[in-house]
Structures are given as structure tokens and as C-alpha cells.
Amino acid sequence: MTGEMNKLLPLLILLLGLLQMAYAAVPRDCSQAIIGIADGWNNSHVTLSVVEKNAKGQWVRVLGPYQGRLGKNGLVWGLGLHQNARGVTLKKEGDGRSPAGVFALGGLWVTHKTPVKHNSSIPYVKVGPHDLWVTNTTDARYYNRHVRLDHPARTPWELKEQMRQTDYPHSIKMLICHNTHERKGGVVVGGGSSIFFHIWRNGGKSPTAGCTSMAEPHLRAIIARLNPARKPVYILLPRAEYTRLRPSWRLP
């Protein structure tokens, strides 16, 4: 019996490896990541670093650590590149929590007077009074989607969904692809919307409604470093979850 088990052991190890690859949250072609680590699920403070794979395939830190802020109520599992375990609590619109997991990154949305240095492959939207980001859970067509009107926002619904025009913390925003239309499985209406990196409020004294915020120089440095060819992702987890999931999710 022992001999048979010894013969089967390599096969079992191979199958386990394939299973881990199937459930790995970080894509194999990803070589750049923003890592956010919080001390716990109910903590609104986060430590942020940018890591990249070097020529030897080893992950090395190239920016940070920087301090940032999360949702006022901490974190909760989000909808991204990872697979959530059955039965876990997921992010909902208005819960005041930042989505945890692994997420692709989207474009830039800017009202700041000083241009943001960025890779030319990253979409760059100069936000104006005709730009909306829909958070209304009763509108499944446009929920968690950018809408550009052919006129400045004027109706009560348009004004409510209008992207902020004069709010300094929101003058530089980079999309975190939580629950977006590009995600496999699509958008879950009510599953949380308008999740961005942006400048922190009150010098970091204030949490967010669910975004990840940081000092303006740090946000600009991260954006300038990002290279879409490296397939960058945002990994946001409590410290204990990062340690637990590191092997199976292929985390840096």
C-alpha cells in the first residue's frame, strides 16, 4: 500500500499545483502590482507599495511603503480577478468598506490643473461638467459606468451622478476595477461602484467611502510608474488574509 501511495504522490502534487493555478488570483503574465495591506478587516488605514518582477522573476519593491486610507468601516470582499469563497460577505453599495481582493486597473479621471504623468497606454479622461459616474442602483444599464452627456449635467438625476468638479481629493482618480463591466461575470447591481485611487482628505486624517486614498505626490508617483504592458493589478487584503492566500493566489 505504501508503494502505491508513493507512486501516486507525484500525481497528487501535480494536481494540487494545477488546482492552485486555476484559482490563482494574480494572472501569470502580471509583473507589476500595487499591494495594500491593512491590519484587519475593520481598519481604515493601509500601507501601500508597488512591486515588480525583476529579470530573475523575483518580486522587488520599487515604490513605498506609503500610508493610505480606506473606507471608514474597513474592508470587505470585492468582485475582481479572484474567486470569493462561498458564503463570504461581499461589498454592497454604501457600506463604507473598501473591496478586498485582486483587481485590474482602469483609466485616469482628472480635473487637476497640473497634468498627471502617465504611460500613454493608460486612458486619460479630463473630467468636465458633462461626465457622470452612475452609482444609482435602480439603473442597471449604467450602474458603475462612466457616462458622457452631450450637454452639461442639469437634471436632478444627472447632477446627482455628476463626477466631482472642484473637490481636490477627487481631482486625480485612477479606477480600481471592482465590479466593473469588463469583469468576468459582469456587474452586480448594488455590489459597489465608483471605486478609485484618489488623493486623501485632510492630509490623511479622514477615511474614504470605499476608495483607496493617499498623499498626492505618492499617487502621482504610482501612476507614473504603472506600465499596462506589465498587466498591473491592485492587491488589497488584511495582513492575515494575505499571508494565508499568498501561495494559492500566487501573491508577490
Neighbours of 197 (CB within 10 A): 24
Residue 252: all three cell numbers together: 508577490
**Residues whose CB falls within 8 Å of the CB of residue 66, separated by 6 or more in sequence, listed in order:** 47, 48, 49, 214, 215, 218, 222
**What band does 139 get if pLDDT is binned at 50, 70 and 90?**
confident
How many domains is the chain built from? 1
**What band does 6 get if pLDDT is binned at 50, 70 and 90?**
low
> Whole domain around residue 71: which residue ranges?
2-249
pLDDT value of position 191 = 97
At residue 126, does pLDDT exceed 80? Answer: yes
Query: pTM higher than 0.75, yes or no?
Result: yes
Phi, psi of 250 (to 5 degrees): 60, 45
Q: Considering the chain, what percentage of its residues have pLDDT values greater than 90?
A: 87
pLDDT value of position 186 = 86
Return d(Cα 249, Cα 242) in angstroms, integer: 9
The amino acid present at 35, given as its one-letter code, is I
Question: Closest Cα to residue 48, out of 246, 200, 231?
Answer: 200
Return d(Cα 160, Cα 152) in angstroms, integer: 12
Where does residue 144 fall: left (phi above 0), alpha (psi -120 to 50 degrees), or beta otherwise? left
Local structure of 6: helix, strand or coil: helix
Beta strand ranges found along the chain (DSSP E): 32-38, 45-53, 59-69, 75-77, 98-110, 124-126, 131-133, 146-148, 172-176, 196-199, 212-214, 233-238
pLDDT value of position 3 = 55
Where does residue 76 fall: left (phi above 0), alpha (psi -120 to 50 degrees), or beta otherwise? beta
Residue 32: all three cell numbers together: 507589476
Return d(Cα 107, Cα 232) in angstroms, integer: 12
160: enclosing H helix or E strand? helix 156-161
Residue 162: all three cell numbers together: 455628476
161: enclosing H helix or E strand? helix 156-161
pLDDT in tens, 15-43: 333 333 345 789 999 999 999 999 999 99
Return d(Cα 181, Cα 160) in angstroms, integer: 21
pLDDT in tens, 216-250: 999 999 999 999 999 999 999 999 999 999 999 99
pLDDT value of position 25 = 87
Please state, rounded to an integer, the average pLDDT across all residues of the chain.
Answer: 91
